[in-house]
Amino acid sequence: MHLLFDGTTPLPRLLLLGGFLVRPDFEAVLDPPVFLAAGDRVAYEHTHLTVTSPAGAVRTVPVASAHWLCRR
């Protein structure tokens, strides 16, 4: 599933997010995984995700690790 973590696009459905690609060769991992509700808007920062609910409540989710993916 392709998601936009731009802080303005609402999520289409409930998601359990444990990791995601920041770029095609760079992955961020959340530990523990986090539930994101339909309608939440998510913005990626280097150390955390900022999640804004449809009601306007803001919370941060720390990124546990991030690493480059080596492909051969």
pLDDT higher than 80, residue 15:
yes
Q: What is the DSSP secondary structure assignment for residue 13, as one 8-state letter? A: S
Across the range 55-72, mean pLDDT stands at: 91
Domain edges within the chain: 6-68
- The predicted-structure confidence for 35-48, as pLDDT tens digits, reads as follows 999 999 999 998 99
Taking the model in full, what pTM does it have? Answer: 0.85
Half-sphere exposure of 22 (CA within 13 A, CB side): 18
> What token pair was written down for 57?
């409540």
Q: What is the pLDDT of residue 63?
A: 94
pLDDT band for 54, please (50, 70, 90 cuts).
very high
Q: Identify any residues that bridge with 52 across adjacent strands, giving them in sequence order.
A: 41, 58
pLDDT-derived band at 13 (thresholds 50, 70, 90) equals very high
The total of other beta-carbon atoms located within 10 Å of residue 31's CB is 11
